[in-house]
Chains A and B, each alone.
Chain A
Amino acid sequence: DAKTTQPNSMESNEEEPVHLPCNHSTISGTDYIHWYRQLPSQGPEYVIHGLTSNVNNRMASLAIAEDRKSSTLILHRATLRDAAVYYCILRGLYNQGGKLIFGQGTELSVKP
C-alpha cells in the first residue's frame, strides 16, 4: 500500500472548522483513502473514506484533490471530544483482507 504523509500535530479552537491534510503522492488508481481516529485510551474508529469524489457523513467531510495526490479531512465544528490522533490510510483493492497500514497520524488538540 502507498505511503501517506501527515503533520505530526495541529491545534484548533472549539467550534471552529478544522482541516487535516494528508499527502499521498504515490497513490494508485485503485487505492481508497480512509480516515480513522483514535481518542485517548481507545481503539481507532472509522471516520470516512472515499475514492475520487468528495464525501460527507455525519462525522466529517473528505475533500480529495483532482489528481488524488492529497486529501483533506474536514471537521466542520470542532468539539473537545474531537481531540484525537487522526490517521489517513490508503487501502488497495487487492489488500489481503483489508488490513490497515497506519502511519504516525496527526494529533489534534482542541482548545476551549
Chain B
Amino acid sequence: GAGVSQSPRYKVAKRGQDVALRCDPISGHVSLFWYQQALGQGPEFLTYFQNEAQLDKSGLPSDRFFAERPEGSVSTLKIQRTQQEDSAVYLCASSLGIRVGGHYNEQFFGPGTRLTVL
C-alpha cells in the first residue's frame, strides 16, 4: 500500500520567494504532522492537524509559515518570503490518531522535501 508521499522532493528558492510543500498522507489517517529538520539535527515539530482542524501550531517559527488541510486529507505547508534559515528538510507524518490505552499509535513519515534557499 502507498505510504506518505511528499512533493516536490527538492526545492530551490531564491530568498524572498514563496514556496508550497505538499503532503499526501496515508488514506484514512486522521492525524497529520509537519516537522522541520535542519542539517545534522533531529526533526522539530511544526504543526498538527486532526482531520481538517489545525489543533497545534506551536512549533511554527514565524508568521511566514502557514499550513492547511482543507478537506482533511492532503496538506500544504506554505512558507512566505523565504529566508536562508528556512533551508531544511520538511517532513510530513500521518497516523490513525487513535488512542489505545490513552496512548497514540505510531506515525508514518514521508521522505521529506529538501528546501534550499539561496
Contact = CB atoms under 8 A, between A and B. Distances in A.
Contact residues on B (Cβ < 8 Å of other chain), bracket: 20 to 34
Interface string A73-110: 00000000000010100010101111111111100000
A104 B42 contact: yes
Nearest to A93: B102
B41 to A, nearest CB: 7
Interface residues of A, number: 26
B36 to A, nearest CB: 11
A43 B103 contact: no
A46 B105 CA distance: 10
Contacts of B109: 42-45
Interface SS of chain A: loop
Nearest to B45: A99
Interface of B: 4, 31, 33, 35, 41-45, 48, 50, 55-56, 91, 93, 95, 97, 102-112
Given A97-B31, A99-B33, A43 B93 contact: yes
4 interchain residue pairs of minimum CB distance: A98-B104, A43-B109, A102-B42, A46-B106
A28 to B, nearest CB: 13
Contacts of B31: 97-98
Contacts, number: 69
B107 A46 contact: yes
Interface of A: 30, 32, 34, 41-46, 49, 51, 85, 87, 91, 93, 95-105
A87 B42 contact: yes
Contacts of B50: 97
Nearest to B109: A43
B102 A30 contact: yes
A6 to B, nearest CB: 10
A69 B28 CA distance: 36
